[in-house]
Amino acid sequence: MRVIAGTAKGVRLGPVPRGVRPVSDRAREGVFSSLGTGVPGARVLDLYAGTGAMAIEALSRGAEHATLVERDRAAVGAIRDNLARTRLGEAAEIVPSDVLAFVIRDDKSLEKFDLIFVDPPYAMNHDELDRLVAAIGSAGPSGPAWRVILTRPKRSSTPVIPLHWLAARRLSYGDTLVFIFREV
């Protein structure tokens, strides 16, 4: 895995910890192509951050700040390593936490984020995913330019999305589906 564009373009990211399934370079390239001018200056939230590749790509392309939420200890170590490799650590905050607990926490508002990357494990059950998407929908984001980017396996069903979300794009890469949601 490598950073595709921006200030850290070409930097190889470290080894992927066991049990982590990062978004492929090709899928990341497609996502960021679709987001285009929505990335520079954005405040990013990366849920189920894994290696941190999505947030790191956003920071490399000019995002202002990224908060990376990941509970797996080995993955948190990989994120720290990758932020050091890319020299983007000063613009990032790592939160070692369960994602749903982070999203529903009273003192954490999602309203301040412009881009929310949600890359849950493919094995996550449908009800749990629906609860997570509903929690994200009720906790924020707001403003005219927000986007929620959700990755799922091709053979899964689409989660129930909040009424004020519109599926702006549906991208397909290998065994991965990427949904980009925005406000209706």
pLDDT for 163: 82
DSSP notation for the chain? -B--SSTTTTPBP-PPPTT--PPPHHHHHHHHHHHGGGSTT-EEEEET-TTSHHHHHHHHTT-SEEEEE---HHHHHHHHHHHHHHT-GGGEEEE-S-HHHHHH-TT--GGG-SEEEE---TT--HHHHHHHHHHHHHH---STT-EEEEEEETTSPPPP--TTEEEEEEEEETTEEEEEEEE-
Q: Distances from the Cα of 151 to the Cαs of 31, 84, 88, in angstroms?
A: 10, 26, 24
Ordered structural domains, the chain, with CATH: 25-183 (3.40.50.150)
pLDDT in tens, 94-133: 999 999 999 988 556 788 899 999 999 888 888 889 988 8
Whole-prediction pTM: 0.92
pLDDT for 174: 87
Q: Which of 116, 106, 107, 103 is nearest to 142 (CA)?
A: 116
pLDDT for 24: 86
pLDDT for 122: 84
pLDDT for 5: 94
pLDDT for 90: 96
pLDDT in tens, 142-179: 666 789 999 998 887 778 888 888 888 899 988 889 99
Rounded to an integer, the average pLDDT of 79-99 is 96
pLDDT in tens, 14-72: 999 998 888 888 999 999 999 988 899 999 999 999 999 999 999 999 999 999 999 99
